[in-house]
């Protein structure tokens, strides 16, 4: 298998592992917080707020601080032996890592915004268009990833980062 295909597979697999891990950890925590505080969302806007508090903030924090770690690896990246680095140096600064995370999670946030935050205030056509845009963004990210041999997706292009194979053993 070529290094390009290997990097695409490892990088995509790492993201899938990270998302599954986040849901396994965050979902029970969200239910626990809901039970402790007695918060039961009843409107789309309340569901959106609950999603921001229980899913978005933890996911953003996870990806942001994992990229900023001295290893530049999430748990998924560590397991599949890939890491994110700055194009100019091996260390990322906070601004670059935040930009990378924001653009990486943009499709996720579009889905939250159009599926919940705006769902009861805009037309169903606009909701559908927003959800389609979220899915189109994912396709664009994947096309850019393949075009860049697995090293860069859209969030890497803007943040001036890339993902490379790591020689480090998973720990």
SS3 163: strand
CA atoms within 13 A on the CB side of 162: 15
Q: How do residues 140-149 score in pLDDT, each as one tens digit?
A: 999 999 999 9
Q: How far apart are CA 160 and CA 142, in angstroms?
A: 17
Residue 170 lies in a domain: no
Residue 135 lies in a domain: yes
Total domains in the chain come to 1
**By residue range, what is the domain housing residue 161?**
3-165
Residue 89 lies in a domain: yes
Residue 171 lies in a domain: no
Contact present, 108 and 59 (Cβ < 8 Å) = yes
Q: How do residues 12-50 score in pLDDT, each as one tens digit?
A: 999 999 999 999 998 887 787 778 877 788 888 888 888
How many C-beta neighbours within 10 Å does residue 150 have?
24
- Extract the tokens encoding 32: 């626990």
Taking the model in full, what pTM does it have? 0.87
């Amino acid at each position: 298998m070529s290094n390009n295909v290997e990097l695409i597979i490892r990088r995509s697999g790492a993201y899938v592992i990270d998302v599954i891990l986040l849901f396994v950890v965050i979902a029970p925590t969200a239910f626990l917080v809901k039970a402790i505080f007695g918060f039961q969302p009843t409107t789309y806007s309340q569901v959106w707020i609950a999603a921001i508090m229980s899913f978005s903030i933890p996911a953003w924090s996870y990806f942001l601080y994992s990229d900023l770690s001295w290893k530049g690896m999430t748990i998924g990246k560590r397991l599949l032996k890939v890491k994110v680095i700055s194009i100019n140096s091996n260390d990322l600064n906070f601004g670059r890592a935040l930009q990378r995370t924001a653009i990486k999670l943009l499709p996720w946030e579009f889905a939250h915004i159009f599926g919940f935050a705006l769902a009861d205030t805009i037309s169903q056509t606009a909701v559908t268009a927003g959800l389609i845009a979220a899915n189109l963004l994912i396709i664009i990210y994947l096309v850019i990833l393949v075009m860049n041999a697995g090293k860069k997706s859209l969030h890497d292009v803007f943040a001036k980062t890339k993902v490379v194979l790591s020689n480090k053993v998973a720990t």
